[in-house]
Amino acid sequence: MNMWLKKGTIAVVSTWLAIMVAFPASAGTFKREYKMTVNVGPSFYWGMGATKFSELVKEKTQGRINIKPYFGSSLLKGAQLKSPQMVAKGVIDCAFESTINSSPVIPEMNIFSLPFFINNFERLDQIEYGETGKVLFGKMNKIGLTPLAWAENGFRQVTNGKRAITTPDDMKGLRLRVVGSPIFIDTFRALGADPVNMNWGDAQTAFQQGVVDGQENPVGVLIPVQIWQYHNHVSFWNYLVDPVIVYWGTREWNKFPADIKQAIGEAATQAARFEKALCRAGLDGDISINILKNEFNYTMEVPDPIRFLQSKGMEVNFLTPEAEKAFRTATESVYKTWVPKIGQTLYETAKKDMGE
């Protein structure tokens, strides 16, 4: 009898030790759910990246950290520009969010919104992974955010139902739905357009009624919203880019042990790479298509977005080098207003990163 008890005790102790190794004492402080804010819905490439992140975190932490994405800025009741503040305060744990939404509290993020400044993937990567990216991540650190990885919403293109846009003159008089950020408003006014900020539901009605002529968004938005239902012209002008950053509130982040931080960081890097490839697929040759296929065993539903939009009856236009230069000249007033707000030093750093 005593022998049985000893064996039973040994078995219990062994089981307890195994549990302690798998789940350290600090695991008791983990939340049942970590809330993540995401601006868009789960069917958008950006939303798919957020879902991938939550899945990878659960896998890499053996289920200890569970992230729930709250899509459509539901945690913010649509006020997505408040996401950095809410994450920094700990009201929301983490975010998979656009630099546009960080720009009200980190004006340096507007470096990506300078019109016709970055204009291709190579230049974007040089900025994000160069000195500019380090400065921007440092700015996030200062307001209580821990950035983990660069993801993407993509270069924003313009669509409308009136005419092809290939020169600055084509913009004059067009009433266009734009993001509410002031630099967007300034850019479209400089081009002679009439920019209006409204939510997407109202914009769809405005398109149908002919009250608003067009809008601007990346390919990863144009396809899910079926933009061809409203517009028959799209210009791929890469006038500015919309990066996405995966970040955590520093106060909550610092509670994690090193192994959890490493696991979440690795998940963020992988999810961001997946999501970037979704946004770039068919727009960078075969590079992103192959990343998705070879690294993630994923096949794009729309591997050639340009041909897809054409198949839906849209006229697709691209800017000539001369036209791009004309657009840049037409928006010089935006640089005069916004470079001082962004910081002349950061602007010069960005140009240096891009080899200018």
State the fold for domain 157-240+304-353.
Answer: D-Maltodextrin-Binding Protein; domain 2 (3.40.190)
Q: What are the DSSP calls for 102-138, one per residue?
A: HTTT-GGGGGGGSTTSS-SHHHHHHHHTSHHHHHHHH
β 194-196/34-38 pair status: unpaired
**pTM score of the predicted model:** 0.90
* Fold match flag (31-154+243-296 vs 157-240+304-353): yes
What is the H or E stretch that residue 167 is in? none
Tens of pLDDT, residue by residue over 125-170, are 999 999 999 999 999 999 999 999 999 999 999 999 999 999 999 9
Fold of domain 31-154+243-296: D-Maltodextrin-Binding Protein; domain 2 (3.40.190)
Tell me how far apart the 2 most distant CA atoms of the chain are, in Å: 95
Domain boundaries, the chain: 31-154+243-296, 157-240+304-353
Q: Which DSSP string corresponds to 188-230?
A: HHHTT-EEE---HHHHHHHHHHTSS-EEEE-HHHHTTTTGGGT
Higher per-residue confidence, 74 vs 329: 329
211, HSE (Cβ side, Cα atoms, 13 Å): 11
Distance in Å from the first CA to the final CA of the chain: 83
Predicted local confidence at residue 28, as pLDDT: 52
> What pLDDT was estimated at residue 3?
40
Work out the pLDDT band at 200, boundaries 50, 70, 90. confident
Q: What is the pLDDT of residue 10?
A: 41
The DSSP secondary structure of 305-340, one letter per residue, reads HHHHHHHTTPEEEE--HHHHHHHHHHTHHHHHHHHH
